[in-house]
Amino acid sequence: MTNGIDILDEDPSGRSGETGGKGSARQIAVALSYRPRSADDAPKVVASGRGKTAEQILELAFAQGIKVREDPDLAEILAAVDIDSVIPLSAFVAVAEILGYVYRTNNQPIPEPAP
């Protein structure tokens, strides 16, 4: 499995269950990757999109068995980050908690930086 997680804001209005139909809010999906090579490495945004692009990101995530988490506030923060850029400092705690959950759920060790 790839080291990744999608952060989803399915409906910023708080109405969950709608997926991009007429009148519903647009989806936001952000995919992250964390593959530390040194102690200074941080998770990076590897894909981001709204609407149809968000749906495609989610379809790929589900097909690959990548965990998806709904977090509207975090999705908005991460959607503003350029692709292949590290996450902002303001998102570190939330992303660390999510990654820790993903690794525990998958019975995988948290990656250590290469020596």
At 20-36, the pLDDT tens digits run 344 346 789 999 988 88
In sequence order, what E strands does 1-115 have? 4-9, 28-33, 44-50, 68-70, 85-86
At 76-103, the pLDDT tens digits run 999 999 999 999 999 999 999 988 888 8
Are 20 and 81 contacting, i.e. CB atoms less than 8 angstroms apart? no
pLDDT band at 4 (very low <50, low <70, confident <90, very high): low
For the chain, the structural domain boundaries read: 4-105
Q: In whole angstroms, what is the distance from residue 44 CA to residue 70 CA?
A: 18
Which homologous superfamily does the CATH classification assign to the domain defined by 4-105?
secretion proteins EscU (3.40.1690.10)
Are 87 and 44 contacting, i.e. CB atoms less than 8 angstroms apart? yes
Residue 8: its pLDDT value, please?
57
pTM exceeding the 0.85 threshold for the entire prediction = no
Residues 6+ apart with CB under 8 A from 48: 28, 29, 30, 31, 57, 78, 79, 81, 83
Assess whether pLDDT exceeds 90 at residue 45.
yes
